[in-house]
Every structure is written in structure tokens, then in C-alpha cells.
Structure 1
Amino acid sequence: MTEEQYRGPAASDRRTFLRRASIAAAAPAVVALVGAGGTATANAAGSTDLPDFAPVPPTSFGPALNSAGYYVGQISGNLYWVTDSSYQAMFLATRDGVVLVDAPPTIGRNIQRAIDSVTKPQGLPSRVTHVVYSHNHADHIGAAGLFGRDVEVIAHTEARRLLRVANDPNRPVPSVTFDDRHVLTVGGERLELVYHGPNHSPDNIFVYAPRQRTLMVVDVIFPGWTPFKNLAESQDVPGWLAAHQTAMDYSWTTLVSGHLGRLGSRQDVVLQQNYVTDLQDSARTALTTLDPTPYFQKYGSTGNSWAIFKTYLDGVARQAADPVVAKYIDKLAAADVFTMDNAASMVNSLRIDAGVLGPFGIHP
């Protein structure tokens, strides 16, 4: 399979765009330059209503990327990570081959280049022999097909079912699956794969390297940043919330989160726990205090029930988000970007998962 076949007919254009985006994400100085150019283009096209957002704290950025658009670094011993400042993968370099955890398509063939740069100077084999899937989503494993058919692919049992349905050649169906726990030992190195129940996805697992005291859990923690929109697009919000404490129950010093440009610390998890707790409390308060009367008055006479629900729930989310944005705007990057979306998801989870129905509860 060639890279053009893998990427599709517009591959070169997408690679150019992603390279620029990655470099911008990794370098605040470049962000300013790209932003200036982008504004001029938007003005020329007549689109002048793009929103402004608060500056990103310098501590939220990761290391600078190389000229190929990636960074590879040692975590501890033979455990390494690679990022393009949008996504992350992790790999173990062993005497019997390389164990790769996730294969984000935005990093693509740079994954193998990163591996080569580490293994060849040490005289270690550079061939990927095992690929571990954190979960089935294409944005995290959509480059797994690059490593050939002889690779042993390991994932949760539910991931295999979902990937059989997807039938995506870029995400080979796992050859080894487990329900609760699987210990992978290759070349004297060890990874512990554990399923703690659904969270971001039905099959998302925790990957623990005990010797290196490193935990990889994807789409749960976003070190230095507000969680991605809609609480990381999580399919099980209560499970996603619980996964924060599950992560803290492990003994680790380094977190590989799967996203953005830097590794995480335990303090990053605590900060995000505080953010989501504050958001949940604020959403609960808004659900039980916002007066629905104006929404019924405006739309009730027309019988447009969906308009009542939409505008009321939007109002609840806005009321819930505002104090959280104010509290975290200088603590978490992009608090003003996704908190409104996150509040909307928290409100709906409280309604359907926790039974906090506000004015739509049991009629008196």
C-alpha cells in the first residue's frame, strides 16, 4: 500500500495542512504568525466574525517539533513517546522488537521514523512486532495498517467487535483480545493492559508500564488543556468521570494522554478533576435554578417543543459554563473554547444518567 493510497487522493494537501497545524500548535510564536495570516485571508474572503480566544499558557505547550513535524522523547529506560503536538503514541524498544501503543494517522509514517531514530543507534531491532490499541477510534489507531500483516495486534474484546463492523483496512482487527486484563511481555519489557469499564468509548483501556512508572490512558486527561468538546466526545460520561480517579489509583509519575504536545503529571489529573467537578456542580445548580418560563412563553404558543428544550438547555449550559470559564481561564488552555460544549454534555448526562431533570421532572 502506497502512502497516497493510504491517505487518499488529497493526501499531499492534507499533509501540508496538518504539518502547518502541528507546527503552529507546538510553537506559540508561530501561532501568532499563522493567526495574522489567517485573519488577513478571512478578511479578504469577507469572513470577519471568527471569535477571539484567550492566549494559551506557555506551560500547556509541548516540546518543539523537528523539521519532519514530530518529536520523539525518552520517558524512562526503553519507553518512548512520539507526538505531532496534536496526537501521541508510545513505544517500547526491546531486543525482540518494538511494541507500539496506538498509531495516530496524523503522525503516520513519522512513527516509524521516530522508532528508527531511537533503535538504530542502540543496535536494537526497529520492526514493530506488536501494536496495542487503546481503543477502536480511527483518530488514534488509523495508521496501524502501515505496519503490515505480521504484527500482533492486541486490544479489548469489544474493540474487535467494533472493528469487525468498521471493516477498515487501516485499523486491522485485533489478533489477541482480552476482557479484563492482559500482561504483555516482549524482550524483557512488560506492559499491563487493564479494562476498567466503558468511559470515553466502550473499549478504552489503561496501559501501564510498571518499571517505567508510566500510565497511558487516552481521551480522558488533557494535560494543561480543557477537555475536548462534549467531555471528550465520551460515550459514557459517568464512566469517563470515574476514569479520572481510576488513573490516580495507579502508581505512576508520567502520563501519556494520547493528545496534544506534552506528557502529563499527577497534578494535571488533579486539576482536571477539579475542573469537571466544578462543571458538574455548576450544571446541577443551573438545572435546578434556571427559570424555564421565558422559554415556554416564547415557543409554547406555537407548539414547538424542540425549541423550548433547545433554548432552555442552551441557557442551562451557558449558566453552568460561565463561572467555570472565569475560574479556569488562566489555569487550563482553551477554557473559553470548549467549556460551553462540555457543560452541555454534563447537563445532558445529569438529566439522563443521574435523574436531575429540573423543570422536566415528575409533574406535581
Structure 2
Amino acid sequence: MTTNRRTLLKRLAVAAATPAATGLLGGALTGSAGPTGQDTLPEYAPVPAASVGPELNADGYYVGRVRGNLYWVTDAYYQAMLLTTTEGVVLVDAPPTIGHNLLRAIDDVAKANGMPNKVTHLVYSHSHADHIGASAILGKDVVRIGHTETRRLLRLDRDPNRPAPTETFDDHYVLKVGGERLELAYHGPNHSPDNIFIYAPAQQTLMVVDVLYPGWVPFKNLAVSQDIPAWVKAHDVVMGYPWQTLVGGHLGRLGVRADGDLQKQYMADLDAAVRNASATVDPTPYFQKYGSSGNAWAIFKTYLDAVAHQAAEPVIAKYTGTLAAADVFTVDNAFALLESQRIDGGLLGPFGVRP
């Protein structure tokens, strides 16, 4: 029997919401073996119970109150934020994995509060399709708000699922709707050239996407960020806001300030480990083996991989059981940080100017 995408996502999301479950978020997938066979898939450490969010409903989503009229919705992989007002609903991001469940969640909270369930405004955190790819299901009458760079990028992409913002800003934008307020700010590039900060002052809640991952290590290659030094600095910008609740855009739970402190410590440990490995891994064997054949890429690959693995080892040991997926993405994150240190920081190691 063929399983459609929505059914599969629902099954996986329900499994991910269970602390003891294994699967995409905590180990090898269970069930019938895939084309390559289940026994070929790697095993990973269990997801800590503290990293798991609330249980999803039968439709594969959870919607809950943050504070006052501010709510959040998740499918255990992605998150959106919504603000109910007397004039309608302000939605922040429209992840395609949540898709039409966004409309169900909006209907849930609007009815519960006796508010209109029509979405009047949609705020884009940034242009990436995995966070706003369901924008089109809201129709053409929604006021879409984003950074000026977001509009430029979306006009280039010409994706009908991500209409360009109708209202843009460069530095700051205050959105007031039906007695509620959101403060949008651009602090420069980080994960993407256009990623913004969305702050709800009355609710002491900050939404910033693809920077902090509460309860988890950052996604592969430091969130596939386009400016690694700026992404690292964005951690301090995040912690400079007086928030008590964080909507991070990914995974199944909200963040608290201790999550920000913990990820900063993870990054500090990873940085120190990468620098130490860069200084201690001997490049000689890699040059000797591949240099005679002129295979420059083999030298780079094997040496840089060795540095990343050595750097990751103590960090994985420290954070396994504390941050979910420490053993999944820390090697990739070490490699991304190593490359940033080489390219952005000039720490070229054996590939620098030699005597």
C-alpha cells in the first residue's frame, strides 16, 4: 500500500513526540526495511526526554498558548507563531510540513478566544522555502511582511508558493493589529542574508529561526548558515533581547533562556576543540599519501575530515544525553566551523603560506 506524504509525516511526527521513540529524531528508523535494508542504517543515542515537545494530536500537530493571545504550532519538525487579535490573525512563517494544519490550528485558537479566524498578516522570518513554503495556501489578500532582501530573493526565486512580501523594511518595523504588537528587526545577515528577529514585547517572546535549537544541537553544518561568523554572533543578539520564551522555528518545543546559554557553551566548546585539532592533527600522512599523485582534493578531504572528527569527539562525549543529536551533527558542525575558521578567520594551517 502506498503511503502519501501527509500520512508519513503524521506518523513520523507522532513518533518523534514520544521520548522513547526511535526514528528520524533519535535513531534508526523502525518498521519495514527500506530499499537498502534497515540494518544498513546507523544507530544514534536516544533523544533526551527534556528535548521532546508536547504530544501531537491525531492530525499530526500541536497548538498551544505562549502567553495572552500569542500561540505557537508545531509538527515536531517545524514551528510557526500566531497572534490572535480583534481584527484577525497574524501568522509568523508558514512551514510546508505543517501545511493545512496551520489553518486548523488557527481555527482552533480563534474559536477558543472568540476572535476572527481570518489571517490578515503573514510575517516572513526569511525567504527559505522550508519555513514559508505554505504561504500560498493563505490566498492573495493576506498582507505579507518581510525584509527588503527577502523581497529581492523571492522575486529571483519566482516560487508561486512563496509570494514576495507586499510590505518591506530595512531595519525596524512595528506591526500593530487589533491591539497587539510585534516588533520586527534586522540585525544583519546570519543564517541567511535576510533573517529577521520577531519580538512580542507584551508576551516576552522572541521568534528567530535557524539560530537556536532548544534542546538540540544545531542542524547540519551549523544550520547550513550562509555567514558562519555572523550566525555565531547572532547568539549574543538573541540573548540581548529580554525574552522569556523562544520560538526557534524547528523541532517540537519552545525555548527558555537556559537553552540559549547551553547552545552558546556548545559553540564555545566546539570552537575550542576545532582550534585544538587544527593545531595537533599532523598533516604529513595526507600529503605523503596523496601528494605524489597530485590529488590535491584527496589531501584536503582526508586532512580536514580528520580534524573535524578529532574536534567533534570530546564535544559529542560531553553533550550526548544533554543535547539531542549531539552524535548526529557535531562532526558536520565541526567541519563547518573549521572551514569558517580557515576561510573567514585566516587560520589556514598546513594550507597557509609556508617558509
Relative to the length of structure 2, the TM-score reads: 0.96
Does the 8 Å CA contact 1:283/1:346 hold for their aligned counterparts?
yes
Alpha-carbon distance in structure 2 between the residues aligned to 1:276 and 1:36? 23
Is the counterpart of residue 142 in structure 1 residue 142 in structure 2? no
Instruction: Note the 1:1-364 alignment, pairs <5 A.
Output: 13-31=4-22, 38-39=29-30, 41-42=32-33, 46=37, 48-364=39-355
Residue aligned with 1:192, SS: strand
Give 1:37 deviation, angstroms.
Answer: 9.9
Partner of residue 8, structure 1 = none
Q: Secondary structure at the match of 1:28?
A: coil
Q: Is the 8 A contact 1:157 1:179 kept in 2?
A: yes
Choose 160-169 or 279-288, whichever is displaced more: 279-288
Q: Quick one: distance in 1 between partners of 2:157 and 2:344?
A: 28
1-structure distance, mates of 2:267, 2:259: 12
SS at match of 1:346: helix
Whether contact under 8 Å (1:287, 1:357) holds in the other structure is: no
Paired residues, what number? 353
Percent of pairs identical after alignment? 64
> In the superposition, relative to structure 1, how do residues 12 and 94 fare at CA in structure 2: closer, same or farther (>3 Å)?
farther
Once residues 198 and 312 of structure 1 are traced to their aligned partners in structure 2, the CA distance between those partners, rounded to angstroms, is 30
- Preserved CA contact (<8 Å) 2:26 2:44: no
Distance 2:250 2:67 in 1: 19
Mapped partners of 1:121, 1:278: distance in 2: 45
Unaligned runs of 5+ residues in structure 1 are 1-10
Q: Describe the shift of the 1:47–1:57 C-alpha distance in structure 2 as closer, same or farther (beyond 3 A).
A: closer
**1-side partners of 2:273 and 2:14: how far apart?**
36
CA distance in 2, matches of 1:120, 1:309: 58
The C-alpha deviation readout for 1:294-349, integer Å capped at 9, x for no partner, is 00111011110000001000011011111110111121011000000000000000
How far did 1:48 drift? Answer: 2.0
CA pair 44-179 structure 1, distance change in 2 beyond 3 A: closer
- What SS does structure 2 have at the residue aligned with 1:202? coil
Write the distance in 1 (CA, Å) between the matches of 2:21 and 2:62. Answer: 17
Q: Is the 8 A contact 2:26 2:45 kept in 1?
A: no
**Is 2:26–2:47's contact at 8 Å kept on the other side of the alignment?**
no
The secondary structure found in structure 2 opposite 1:261 is coil
Residues of 1 paired with 2:26 and 2:75: CA distance?
A: 19
Q: CA deviation at 1:112?
A: 1.1
CA contact (8 A) 1:22 1:86 kept: yes
Partner of 1:211: helix, strand, or coil? helix
Partner deviation per Cα, 1:190-218 (whole Å, 9 max, x = no partner): 00000000000000000000000000000
Going from structure 1 to structure 2, the CA distance change for 1:246 and 1:39 (only over 3 Å counts) comes to: same
Q: When you count helix as a share of all residues, which structure comes out higher?
A: 1
- Give the match's secondary structure for 1:118: helix
Match of 1:4 in 2: none
TM-score (norm 1): 0.94
